[in-house]
Amino acid sequence: MATLSLEVTDWNRSNIAELPDVPSDMMVRDLIEEVEQAMSLPRDTYHLIAGGEKLNRAATLEEAGIESGEELTIAPEVSAGA
């Protein structure tokens, strides 16, 4: 198992999280939870984006093709409504 060094920014770049030792077999959903916790974000609302694509929460980072040094974006999936 490799260890990845990742940078995760929120959508408007007001917070940047540097995570120096992320296991490559970590599930995407678990990384999202770590970043939500570190950035004090509401739970179960966010996704990670890499290269413009939303990552599958059920995949590992390795399966999602994430490499060390990559910059990811965390952004919410939300609905406004009347």
Partner 1 sequence: MVNPAYQFVQRVCGRAGALIAEREITDFRPLAEDVAFAAVLEGRLANDGKWGAASVEPFFEEEKLAGVTVRRASQQKSYRTAVFADNAWAILLAAQGMDDEDNVEEKLTFTWELQLRLRDPEAQKKRLRAAITYAPFPLTADTVAGLGIAAEGRQTDIWVSSKLLEELRQSAVANLDRERAHFLTGRLLQEGGRGVVVLSGSIAAEVESGSSAVHFGFSPQTFAAARQEAQRRNDGLTVLAWAHNHPPPCRRDCLAVVPACKSDNVFFSVADRGVHRAGFSAPYAVALVAGKAAGRRADDPEFRAYGWRDGVIVEKNFYTF
Work out whether 1 is an interface residue with partner 1 (CB under 8 A).
no
Work out whether 17 is an interface residue with partner 1 (CB under 8 A).
yes
**Taking the complex as a whole, how short is the minimal distance between the CB of residue 11 and partner 1, in angstroms?**
4
Work out whether 15 is an interface residue with partner 1 (CB under 8 A).
yes
Q: Give the Cβ contact number of residue 21 at 10 Å.
A: 8
Work out whether 19 is an interface residue with partner 1 (CB under 8 A).
yes
Work out whether 59 is an interface residue with partner 1 (CB under 8 A).
no
Work out whether 73 is an interface residue with partner 1 (CB under 8 A).
yes
The closest alpha carbon to 41, from 71, 6, 65, 8, belongs to: 8
Indicate which single residue of 27, 49, 62, 63 sits in contact with partner 1 (rule: CB under 8 A). Answer: 49
Q: How far apart are CA 67 and CA 45, in angstroms?
A: 24
Measured CA distances, 33 to 38, 62, 77, 80, 82 (Å): 9, 17, 15, 23, 29
